[in-house]
Amino acid sequence: MSLNRIVQQSLDIQHNLQEVGRRADVPVVFIWDSHTGGTVKVPPFDRVYIELPADTPVGWVDGMDELWSHRHNLAIKWWEQVTAVDMNGSSCRCCGPDFSFSSNTLRQATATHRRCAYSNETHMYTEDPEIEGLPSIPLDQWLKRPHVLFIPLDVSKIDFTYNSKTPVYHTP
Protein backbone atom coordinates (compact mmCIF):
# COMPACT_ATOMS: atom_id res chain seq x y z
CA MET A 1 0.00 0.00 0.00
CA SER A 2 1.32 3.45 -0.87
CA LEU A 3 2.18 6.07 1.71
CA ASN A 4 -0.45 8.45 0.28
CA ARG A 5 -3.19 5.82 0.63
CA ILE A 6 -2.11 4.96 4.19
CA VAL A 7 -2.15 8.65 5.13
CA GLN A 8 -5.58 9.27 3.59
CA GLN A 9 -7.20 6.24 5.24
CA SER A 10 -5.59 7.09 8.57
CA LEU A 11 -6.69 10.74 8.46
CA ASP A 12 -10.27 9.67 7.69
CA ILE A 13 -10.29 7.62 10.89
CA GLN A 14 -8.34 10.00 13.15
CA HIS A 15 -10.66 12.90 12.31
CA ASN A 16 -13.70 10.84 13.35
CA LEU A 17 -14.50 11.78 16.96
CA GLN A 18 -16.13 8.43 17.80
CA GLU A 19 -13.13 6.48 16.47
CA VAL A 20 -10.70 8.62 18.48
CA GLY A 21 -12.67 7.99 21.68
CA ARG A 22 -12.80 4.26 20.98
CA ARG A 23 -9.05 4.07 20.32
CA ALA A 24 -7.76 6.42 23.05
CA ASP A 25 -6.48 3.58 25.24
CA VAL A 26 -5.07 1.27 22.56
CA PRO A 27 -1.32 0.58 22.66
CA VAL A 28 0.75 2.45 20.08
CA VAL A 29 4.33 2.88 18.97
CA PHE A 30 5.21 6.58 18.96
CA ILE A 31 7.75 7.70 16.35
CA TRP A 32 8.99 11.25 16.91
CA ASP A 33 10.99 13.02 14.22
CA SER A 34 13.73 14.97 16.00
CA HIS A 35 14.06 17.53 13.17
CA THR A 36 17.79 16.73 12.94
CA GLY A 37 19.50 18.69 10.23
CA GLY A 38 16.57 21.13 10.37
CA THR A 39 14.13 18.96 8.43
CA VAL A 40 11.11 16.72 8.90
CA LYS A 41 11.90 13.35 7.28
CA VAL A 42 8.29 12.41 6.29
CA PRO A 43 6.66 15.83 5.76
CA PRO A 44 4.49 17.09 7.30
CA PHE A 45 4.34 14.36 9.98
CA ASP A 46 6.82 14.71 12.82
CA ARG A 47 4.71 12.68 15.28
CA VAL A 48 3.45 9.27 14.13
CA TYR A 49 1.47 6.83 16.28
CA ILE A 50 1.07 3.25 14.97
CA GLU A 51 -1.62 1.17 16.65
CA LEU A 52 -0.56 -2.19 18.12
CA PRO A 53 -2.83 -5.14 19.00
CA ALA A 54 -4.86 -4.59 22.17
CA ASP A 55 -3.04 -7.36 24.07
CA THR A 56 0.35 -5.65 23.65
CA PRO A 57 1.73 -4.66 27.05
CA VAL A 58 2.47 -0.99 27.66
CA GLY A 59 5.27 -0.25 30.07
CA TRP A 60 7.20 -3.02 31.74
CA VAL A 61 5.26 -6.25 32.20
CA ASP A 62 7.43 -9.08 33.49
CA GLY A 63 7.59 -11.97 31.06
CA MET A 64 6.07 -9.97 28.18
CA ASP A 65 9.22 -8.17 27.01
CA GLU A 66 9.74 -10.37 23.90
CA LEU A 67 6.16 -9.84 22.74
CA TRP A 68 6.45 -6.08 23.29
CA SER A 69 9.85 -5.91 21.60
CA HIS A 70 8.65 -7.93 18.61
CA ARG A 71 5.57 -5.75 18.01
CA HIS A 72 7.28 -2.43 18.78
CA ASN A 73 10.14 -3.11 16.38
CA LEU A 74 7.91 -4.64 13.70
CA ALA A 75 5.83 -1.43 13.60
CA ILE A 76 8.98 0.69 13.27
CA LYS A 77 10.32 -1.57 10.49
CA TRP A 78 6.95 -1.37 8.67
CA TRP A 79 6.99 2.46 8.82
CA GLU A 80 10.58 2.43 7.55
CA GLN A 81 9.56 0.29 4.56
CA VAL A 82 6.48 2.39 3.77
CA THR A 83 8.36 5.70 3.89
CA ALA A 84 11.77 4.52 2.62
CA VAL A 85 13.32 6.53 5.45
CA ASP A 86 16.05 5.03 7.65
CA MET A 87 14.56 4.99 11.16
CA ASN A 88 18.05 4.53 12.64
CA GLY A 89 19.68 7.31 10.65
CA SER A 90 21.27 10.53 11.78
CA SER A 91 21.11 13.53 9.43
CA CYS A 92 23.44 15.64 11.51
CA ARG A 93 26.48 14.53 13.52
CA CYS A 94 25.85 17.07 16.27
CA CYS A 95 22.09 16.48 16.65
CA GLY A 96 21.94 12.74 17.29
CA PRO A 97 19.38 10.26 15.92
CA ASP A 98 16.69 11.38 13.48
CA PHE A 99 13.93 9.64 15.44
CA SER A 100 13.04 8.59 18.96
CA PHE A 101 10.64 5.76 19.75
CA SER A 102 8.40 4.84 22.65
CA SER A 103 5.25 2.83 23.36
CA ASN A 104 2.21 3.54 25.48
CA THR A 105 -1.52 4.00 25.00
CA LEU A 106 -2.51 6.63 22.44
CA ARG A 107 -3.81 8.89 25.25
CA GLN A 108 -0.59 8.60 27.29
CA ALA A 109 1.81 8.71 24.31
CA THR A 110 0.35 12.06 23.23
CA ALA A 111 0.04 13.51 26.74
CA THR A 112 3.24 15.56 27.08
CA HIS A 113 2.69 17.24 23.71
CA ARG A 114 -0.94 17.95 24.64
CA ARG A 115 0.23 19.75 27.83
CA CYS A 116 -1.28 17.15 30.13
CA ALA A 117 -0.11 17.14 33.73
CA TYR A 118 1.67 14.16 35.27
CA SER A 119 0.17 12.70 38.41
CA ASN A 120 2.67 11.32 40.93
CA GLU A 121 -0.18 9.41 42.56
CA THR A 122 -1.30 7.43 39.50
CA HIS A 123 2.00 7.68 37.57
CA MET A 124 0.00 8.69 34.52
CA TYR A 125 -0.85 11.88 32.70
CA THR A 126 -4.16 13.58 33.31
CA GLU A 127 -6.07 16.20 31.34
CA ASP A 128 -7.03 18.04 34.52
CA PRO A 129 -6.41 21.74 33.74
CA GLU A 130 -6.27 22.60 37.45
CA ILE A 131 -2.88 20.90 37.90
CA GLU A 132 -0.77 22.85 35.41
CA GLY A 133 -2.75 26.03 34.90
CA LEU A 134 -2.63 25.78 31.09
CA PRO A 135 -5.49 23.94 29.46
CA SER A 136 -4.54 20.60 27.97
CA ILE A 137 -5.35 19.89 24.35
CA PRO A 138 -8.09 17.24 23.98
CA LEU A 139 -6.95 14.10 22.16
CA ASP A 140 -9.40 14.57 19.28
CA GLN A 141 -8.08 18.12 18.73
CA TRP A 142 -4.43 16.94 18.92
CA LEU A 143 -5.04 14.32 16.24
CA LYS A 144 -6.45 16.99 13.90
CA ARG A 145 -3.14 18.87 13.84
CA PRO A 146 -1.47 18.71 10.42
CA HIS A 147 1.84 17.30 11.71
CA VAL A 148 0.27 14.37 13.62
CA LEU A 149 -0.56 10.96 12.11
CA PHE A 150 -2.29 8.04 13.85
CA ILE A 151 -2.21 4.79 11.84
CA PRO A 152 -4.86 2.28 12.98
CA LEU A 153 -4.31 -1.48 12.76
CA ASP A 154 -6.99 -1.81 10.11
CA VAL A 155 -4.99 0.56 7.89
CA SER A 156 -1.45 -0.75 8.48
CA LYS A 157 -2.54 -4.41 8.29
CA ILE A 158 0.73 -5.40 9.99
CA ASP A 159 0.86 -9.09 10.90
CA PHE A 160 1.79 -8.98 14.59
CA THR A 161 1.39 -12.75 15.06
CA TYR A 162 3.72 -13.93 17.78
CA ASN A 163 4.44 -17.20 19.52
CA SER A 164 7.50 -18.63 21.23
CA LYS A 165 8.92 -19.77 17.85
CA THR A 166 8.47 -16.39 16.14
CA PRO A 167 11.82 -14.71 15.59
CA VAL A 168 11.90 -11.40 17.44
CA TYR A 169 12.80 -8.49 15.21
CA HIS A 170 15.29 -6.17 16.87
CA THR A 171 16.21 -2.77 15.48
CA PRO A 172 19.98 -2.38 14.99
Question: 116-140 pLDDT, tens per residue?
Answer: 888 888 888 887 765 556 788 899 9
In sequence order, what are the beta bridge partners of 124? 119
Residue 30, number of CB atoms within 10 A of its CB: 19
Q: Which residue has the higher pLDDT, 69 or 133?
A: 69
What is d(CA 127, CA 15) in angstroms, rounded to the nearest whole number?
20
pTM of the model: 0.87
Would you say 51 and 27 are in contact if contact means Cβ atoms under 8 Å apart? yes
What is d(CA 121, CA 86) in angstroms, rounded to the nearest whole number?
39
